[in-house]
Amino acid sequence: MSDDERLALRFADGDEEALAEVYTRWSRLVFTLALRSLGDRAEAEDVAQKVFVGAWRGRAGFDPARSGLAAWLVGITRHCIADAHDARARRLRAEEALVGGAVLTALVSERDDETAAVAERLMIAEELDRLEPVPQRVMRLAFFDDLTHSQIADTLGLPLGTVKSHIRRSLVRLRTRLEVSDEPYRP
């Protein structure tokens, strides 16, 4: 029986010293996989911690006859990385929704008169229709379909930076066109 096999059996039996050896032996691999995928050191450290806590808590599900301990840890790592990506995407969607909502709220002034609010929404829709086709599609996906910048880039096959540029320029254009002047209307 090899050292790895003995270590795997000790780990599966709940030997805390085996856990320390497992961590020493494979924590760098787990961290490196997480860092390469996530690109963020703090998130990678969180994933590494979750992997080893999860492995220890779920050691009853580890079967040394089915796979080696390293392969099992890599499997757990892949799941934890996927969870981290999902959490990041949820955070980004929430942040973008807050920013998008704040921008649209700034564009459409709050009024008690429901008719005025409907008229303003129609003005915004009309201004969106004046945009070029690609920026118009980007804005509609961002604000009406509630897609993230990355999702828009994937949907339209555009680079992420291009999507962000279209949104930024379109918002500036919309704001400029929709700003209310204090001067009286003169035909």
pLDDT at residue 182 in the model: 45
Alpha-carbon gap, residue 35 to 135, rounded angstroms: 34
pLDDT at residue 184 in the model: 46
Q: Residues 20-41: pLDDT tens digits?
A: 999 999 999 999 999 999 998 9
Listed in sequence order, the residues at least 6 apart from 70 whose beta carbon sits closer than 8 Å to its beta carbon are 4, 26, 29
Domain ranges of the chain: 3-87, 108-178
Model-level pTM? 0.52
pLDDT at residue 160 in the model: 87
Q: By C-alpha distance, which of 115, 101, 126 is closest to 178?
A: 126
pLDDT at residue 185 in the model: 41
Fold of 3-87: Rna Polymerase Sigma Factor; Chain: A (1.10.1740)
Mean pLDDT calculated for residue range 146-168: 89
Alpha-carbon gap, residue 37 to 69, rounded angstroms: 21
pLDDT at residue 91 in the model: 83
**Distance, first Cα to last Cα, the chain:** 92
pLDDT of residue 64 exceeding 70, the answer is yes
pLDDT of residue 5 exceeding 60, the answer is yes
pLDDT at residue 80 in the model: 93
Listed in sequence order, the residues at least 6 apart from 123 whose beta carbon sits closer than 8 Å to its beta carbon are 178
Read off the pLDDT band of 187 (50, 70, 90).
very low
Alpha-carbon gap, residue 22 to 51, rounded angstroms: 12
The answer to whether 150 and 162 are in contact (CB under 8 A) is no
Q: Report whether CATH 1.10.10.10 matches the domain 108-178.
A: yes
Q: Residues 94-142: pLDDT tens digits?
A: 777 666 665 555 555 444 445 555 556 666 777 778 888 898 888 888 8
Q: Residues 78-90: pLDDT tens digits?
A: 999 999 999 888 8
pLDDT of residue 181 exceeding 50, the answer is no
Q: Residues 158-175: pLDDT tens digits?
A: 998 898 888 888 888 877
